[in-house]
């Protein structure tokens, strides 16, 4: 679970960096700023959840945490890419990230919490 802890913390760092860049360096258009905010807040929430999951044991907890982090990374990364580059080349990945994120939460519902 140590690896999950590390990736969750790095995910949180990336989300905060994106918020800082959007506020100070990028000067995005309003719709791009909204995309960055949505991606960063979703990624921060997933990172916080996975930091908590990292303190649990069991295979399903690890799978759920990995799915939540991966789904948030794909979804948020797609939004970041669209906001910064205006390229729609990766937009088709957003549903993959969203579905992976949702399924991660479903798996977590069936994972055994620590006693």
Predicted pLDDT of residue 114: 78
Count Cβ atoms below 10 Å from residue 35 Cβ, excluding itself: 21
- State the total domains in the chain: 1
Residue 27 lies in a domain: yes
Residue 97 lies in a domain: yes
User: How confident is the model over 1-29, as pLDDT tens digits?
Assistant: 789 999 999 999 999 999 999 999 888 89
User: For the residues 15-44, what does the mean pLDDT come to?
Assistant: 93
Range of the domain at 8: 2-110
Residue 92 lies in a domain: yes
User: For the residues 58-79, what does the mean pLDDT come to?
Assistant: 96
Dihedral (Cα; 9, 106, 34, 87), 10-degree rounding: 90
């Amino acid at each position: 679970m140590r690896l999950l802890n590390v990736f969750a913390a790095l995910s949180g760092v990336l989300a905060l960096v994106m918020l800082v860049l959007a506020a100070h360096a990028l000067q995005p258009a309003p719709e791009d700023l909204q995309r960055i905010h949505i991606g960063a807040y979703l990624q921060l929430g997933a990172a916080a959840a996975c930091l908590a999951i990292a303190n649990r044991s069991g295979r399903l907890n690890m799978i759920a945490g990995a799915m939540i982090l991966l789904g948030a990374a794909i979804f948020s990364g797609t939004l970041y890419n669209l906001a910064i580059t205006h390229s729609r080349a990766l937009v088709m990945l957003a549903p993959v990230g969203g579905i992976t994120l949702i399924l991660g939460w479903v798996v977590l519902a069936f994972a055994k919490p620590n006693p």
